[in-house]
Amino acid sequence: MNVHFKNQRNRVIVALIIFLFTGIYSCTVQAQSRSYFLPGKPVKYLGLTASFGIRSFRINSSIPELSHLPVEEDGGSLGLVAGNEIIRARVYVAGFYYTASSVPRTIDLFESEALFNLYPVQIFSKQPHAFGVYIIAGISRDVLKFYGNYMRKDNQAVNYSDYREPYLGKLRQLNATAGIGVEYRLPFEFDFVHLFAEAKYGTPIQSITDKDAFKDTSIKAFTSVSLGVGFGMYR
């Protein structure tokens, strides 16, 4: 890992920390300024969140088999959710996605995300609504692992009896994410269950690979559509 990447990575980490603390501070300020928040308890929602959906992107690469390859990944993510009626933070610690059957190459995707949901209607309303529209902003870290036989040398035989295609390399990518979602809140008094659907768009901030063969490989941008549920304690 070179010094240039280390410096960029450190700047991104610092920016993410500032972003997270800004969101937490906003939650606190809004909670203290609105009468429907409980005194001394700015965080009203605390629980788990899970989503299932599709990630779509196109690969740019000097490798002919990957050049301009459209990819769809199916899978899901699991994480934590905390916040109030106006702003809510979600941290997905584990997301696993696998290439759809229509994709000719095998690419596994591991994703972690830190997102903020902003509910603009709630800024002007004193009561929560059953349906809510929210704006998404955040950052994600993707690890893409490539498998296949298309980079073998001519004198290497292919063992078709192997259950798994050979590992070729991986790409680590940091993305800025934005999107929009809609949420339905089931009526519970002391617990919460929120169903949601959302669409997101991501653009790369930084990428790095562990193999020289993939140094010219990148994802220009990605889109995602997800359905999910958040549930936990309502304070």
Q: How many angstroms separate the Cα of 113 from the Cα of each of 77, 116, 123, 139? A: 9, 10, 25, 6
Nearest to 47 by CA among 189, 180, 193: 193
The β-bridge partners of 229 are 50, 195
DSSP sequence for 16-56? HHHHHHHHHHHHHHHHHH-TTSPTT----EEEEEEEEEEEE
Q: Say what the pTM is.
A: 0.76
Strands 167-185 and 106-118 turn out to be unpaired
Nearest to 130 by CA among 215, 195, 54, 198: 195
The β-bridge partners of 95 are 77, 111
Mean pLDDT by 10 residues, the chain (235 residues): 44 51 48 41 85 94 91 95 92 94 92 94 80 94 92 58 78 94 86 94 90 87 94 87
The whole-angstrom separation of Cα 28 and Cα 44 is 11
- Does the domain at 3-234 match CATH 3.90.1150.10? Answer given as no
pLDDT of residue 40: 42
